[in-house]
Amino acid sequence: MVKQDLLIEIGTEELPPKALERLSIAFQSSVASQITQAGLGFESIQRFATPRRLALLITQLDTAQADRAVERKGPALKAAFDQAGNATRAAEGFARSCGVAVSELEQVDTPKGVWLLFRQTQPGQQTETLVPAMVEQALARLPIPKRMRWGSGDAEFVRPVHWVVMLFGNQIIDCDIMGLTAGRTTRGHRFHHPDPIVLETPASYAETLLDPGYVIADMDARREKIRTAVEQIAAEAGRIATIDSSLLDEVTALNEWPVAVMGAFDERFLEVPSEALIKAMQEHQKYFPVVDNAGRLQPCFITISNIQSQDPAEVRAGNERVIRPRFSDAAFFWEQDLKQPLDALIPRLQTVVFQKSLGSLHDKSQRISQLAQQIAGQLGFDPAEAARAAELSKCDLLSNMVGEFPSLQGVMGRHYAQHAGEGGDIAAAIEEQYLPRHAGDRLPQTNCGRAIAIADRLDTLVGIFAIGQKPTGEKDPFGLRRAALGVLRILIETPLPLDLEALLQAAATGLADKRDTRNTANDVFNYMMERLNAYYADRGFSADLIEAVLARRPTRPADFDRRVRAVAHFRQLPEAEALAAANKRIANILRKTDEAIPTQVDIHLLVEHSEKALAERVAELEPAVEPLLAAGLYSEVLQKLAALREPVDLFFDGVMVMCDDDGLRRNRLALLSSLSAMFLNVADISRLQAGSSQSVSAH
């Protein structure tokens, strides 16, 4: 089959930089999916994205669909013709729906009889007739929250569209897209090459845009060029560039012809906390900060210009002029905030609403303080320290600096607390209360920080559940999923021996004066434990393993984790599958009986050799595993219980549990109950599925 390259380019005004790559990936995915669904083969599909274009190059695309054999089965022969051999209405209706006469239908012999059959070869459509609709569909499906219109047309897109290229081989596909007639003319850099550029073939697209167009069309190549240039210019100055990945992506989406330029600023600004200066550089100006080998911020920055200037010094000077007032503002905020100690802001917390039904930030701070003090007592550090950290935890939200840079909440609180002479752990806790901020983020390192981080999140979870605003579907406006996982990560990965259920009850008590929280703690506990399915799935644990532990409802997440890992180790043992099956059998037997089961096994009622052997083995193991259970050594417990496989197998081979003799039956049920209870002290291994396995990752 003949194959040709296809180029699609949508030329626009400057696209939103933070959405550019997402739009490009979605465009590629949709077009590729539609081409595949149409039965067209191709070699590869490459995406291009710059501030002024979305483009795709599909190589070696079939020029037409293959012919397709179409078969439709009609009525059975006996229903298609009457006794005189005349076509019935059923046969005529079927033939009419196929567009042929009854005489043109075939007959096919099947195991169920003879049937009428319509067979036709449907010629494939030409690719050039299919592509326009595919492009329109792909553009309509792009993840664009709000589309705009321009001019007098009806076209809608994220930004006005100014040109469209549709080139198949060396021929233009004749069509209209977004109200524009497709052609072979693209545009280069807005300043370096504003004149139209005629494309001869799809394969020459990237090369032609590069020269003479001054456009690096490939986003990955442009990103790497920026990274290399930034690192190189910093190294030439004997320094190190700080390259934030999200900022790098945004800068890549802002430039078509990136050129790195280093600028400088007055060293006096380094008296301001470096985090504030870095935020000003990254968020406001899209600059890359520069540090020395020790990680200390240096009085310089690197910016990416979208032009190859004939006077780089002027570009540098312009950027230095722009950053100066930003830093002056940061210095002013810092100086103003230091005019009063952090605790002077505590009364003002009463004027800021946390949530209208849950009170002010001051109310929340008081609740955090009460819960954090309980946690402090359990973790063995001074409750007064936790109370002080909680009291100050939200004060920096009222500072000038956090008002300008909200993402510096906690960070600036730490600086202000240190400046006011607060203890080191108290200052650290003010910042650590927000950790972890996202998946994979670091955890609090101080006990005080852990206590505040846990207390803050649990207060939010219980409060929002109590007012009936728990997450539904994809909607989670209060970030409760993130809060729940944050608490679980702290408790599991630190680890901390805290009882989550008890902490939730304490949090609910703290809110009892504002809402009815009688059932809230239990609801939140169940919600948080459900989050463990995703948490452990990400670490390679199978769902049935988590279910086996959840069935026992451990209330200490760190203890839960030890059980999960113990069961994961147990299921790798050769005895595991047979013992899981035996426990499932035991669970079924015990569930179906409605008679009272003795709490102790009567050795005088043991008749069969195999039940005596099992009872003896159970009696030996019970005292052996008790200290291991008390110490939380669950792997060792299950390792010992694995020795029960042989006596359990022999028991079920040679003993009738549900026999007619009441005494023997109840005694055997008691034996099985005691056996099951030893496993249930760790997990319900009857829930393990045969043949399931997992690759476990460490914390």
* DSSP assignments along 130-145, one per residue: HHHHHHHHHHHTS--S
Q: Residue 355 forms beta bridges with which residues?
A: 359
Examine residue 410 and state whether it is found in any structural domain, yes or no. no
Average pLDDT of the segment spanning 583-595: 89
The distance from CA 655 to its chain's CA centroid, rounded to whole angstroms, is: 52
> How high is the mean pLDDT of the chain?
94
- Give CA–CA dist 58/156, Å, rounded: 25
User: Model pTM?
Assistant: 0.84
The distance from CA 308 to its chain's CA centroid, rounded to whole angstroms, is: 39
- Looking at residue 19, which CATH number applies to its domain? 3.30.70.260
Query: Which range (268-277, 283-292, 509-518) has the least confidence?
Result: 509-518
Q: What is the pLDDT of residue 691?
A: 66
Average pLDDT of the segment spanning 523-543: 95
Residues near 47 by beta carbon (within 8 Å), at least 6 away in sequence: 24, 25, 27, 28, 54, 55, 56, 219
Nearest one of 549, 554, 675, 688 to 615, comparing CA atoms: 675
At 636, list the tokens.
Answer: 């060792």
Q: What is the pLDDT of residue 698?
A: 47
Give 135-175 pLDDT, tens digit per residue.
Answer: 999 999 999 999 999 988 889 999 999 999 999 999 999 99
Place of tokens 């060029």: 225
Query: How would you classify residue 622: left for phi > 0, otherwise alpha for psi between -120 and 50, otherwise beta?
Result: alpha
662 has pLDDT over 90? no
Question: Do 42 and 135 belong together in one domain?
Answer: yes
Question: Do 239 and 282 belong together in one domain?
Answer: yes
Average pLDDT of the segment spanning 265-288: 96
Q: Pick from 306, 322, 337: which residue ends a domain?
A: 337
Examine residue 419 and state whether it is found in any structural domain, yes or no. no
Query: For the residues of 572-608, what is the DSSP string, one character each?
Result: TSTTHHHHHHHHHHHHHHHHH--SPPPSS--GGG--S
Angle of helix 500-510 versus helix 361-379 axis, rounded to 10: 150
Please indicate whether residue 697 or residue 211 has the higher confidence score (pLDDT): 211
Examine residue 546 and state whether it is found in any structural domain, yes or no. no
Question: Do 352 and 469 belong together in one domain?
Answer: yes
Give 418-459 pLDDT, tens digit per residue.
Answer: 999 999 999 999 999 999 999 899 999 999 999 999 999 999
User: Under a CB-based contact definition with an 8 Å cutoff, are residues 87 and 76 in contact?
Assistant: no
Cα 247–Cα 333–Cα 239 angle in degrees, nearest 5: 40
Angle of helix 447-466 versus helix 383-392 axis, rounded to 10: 60
Residues near 605 by beta carbon (within 8 Å), at least 6 away in sequence: 663, 664, 667
Query: Which range (59-68, 418-427, 683-692) has the least confidence?
Result: 683-692
First to last CA, the chain: 53
DSSP letter assigned to residue 64? B
Question: Do 504 and 580 belong together in one domain?
Answer: no
Average pLDDT of the segment spanning 250-268: 97
Q: Pick from 119, 150, 182: which residue ends a domain?
A: 119
Question: Do 584 and 443 belong together in one domain?
Answer: no
393 has pLDDT over 80? yes
Is the bond leading into 202 cis (omega within 30 degrees of zero)?
Answer: no
Average pLDDT of the segment spanning 565-583: 93
Structural domain boundaries enclosing 235: 221-337
Q: For the chain, what's the residue count?
A: 699
- Looking at residue 596, which CATH number applies to its domain? 1.10.730.10
CA distances from 620 to 367, 486, 631 (A): 50, 42, 19
Question: Do 137 and 174 belong together in one domain?
Answer: yes
User: Under a CB-based contact definition with an 8 Å cutoff, are residues 206 and 30 in contact?
Assistant: no
At 501, list the tokens.
Answer: 């259920």
Q: How many domains does the chain have?
A: 5
Q: What percent of the chain has pLDDT over 70?
A: 99
Examine residue 145 and state whether it is found in any structural domain, yes or no. yes
What are the backbone angles phi and psi of residue 215, rounded to the nearest 5°? -135, 125
User: Under a CB-based contact definition with an 8 Å cutoff, are residues 581 and 648 in contact?
Assistant: no
298 has pLDDT over 50? yes
Examine residue 638 and state whether it is found in any structural domain, yes or no. yes
Question: Do 353 and 291 belong together in one domain?
Answer: no
Examine residue 251 and state whether it is found in any structural domain, yes or no. yes
Q: What percent of the chain has pLDDT over 90?
A: 84
Question: Do 380 and 496 belong together in one domain?
Answer: yes
Residues near 546 by beta carbon (within 8 Å), at least 6 away in sequence: 532, 533, 536, 537, 564
Examine residue 693 and state whether it is found in any structural domain, yes or no. no
User: Under a CB-based contact definition with an 8 Å cutoff, are residues 47 and 27 in contact?
Assistant: yes
- Give CA–CA dist 231/293, Å, rounded: 13
126 has pLDDT over 90? yes
Q: Pick from 337, 366, 387: which residue ends a domain?
A: 337
Question: Do 470 and 389 belong together in one domain?
Answer: yes
Question: Do 250 and 378 belong together in one domain?
Answer: no
At 70, list the tokens.
Answer: 């179409």
At 315, list the tokens.
Answer: 């570009």
Question: Do 468 and 363 belong together in one domain?
Answer: yes
- Give CA–CA dist 391/385, Å, rounded: 10
- Give CA–CA dist 541/142, Å, rounded: 35
Largest CA distance in the chain: 109
Give 175-201 pLDDT, tens digit per residue.
Answer: 999 999 999 999 999 999 999 999 999
Question: Do 50 and 106 belong together in one domain?
Answer: no
Examine residue 627 and state whether it is found in any structural domain, yes or no. yes
- Identify the band that residue 222 occupies on the pLDDT scale cut at 50, 70 and 90: very high
Q: Residue 187 forms beta bridges with which residues?
A: 196
Give 223-244 pLDDT, tens digit per residue.
Answer: 999 999 999 999 999 999 999 9
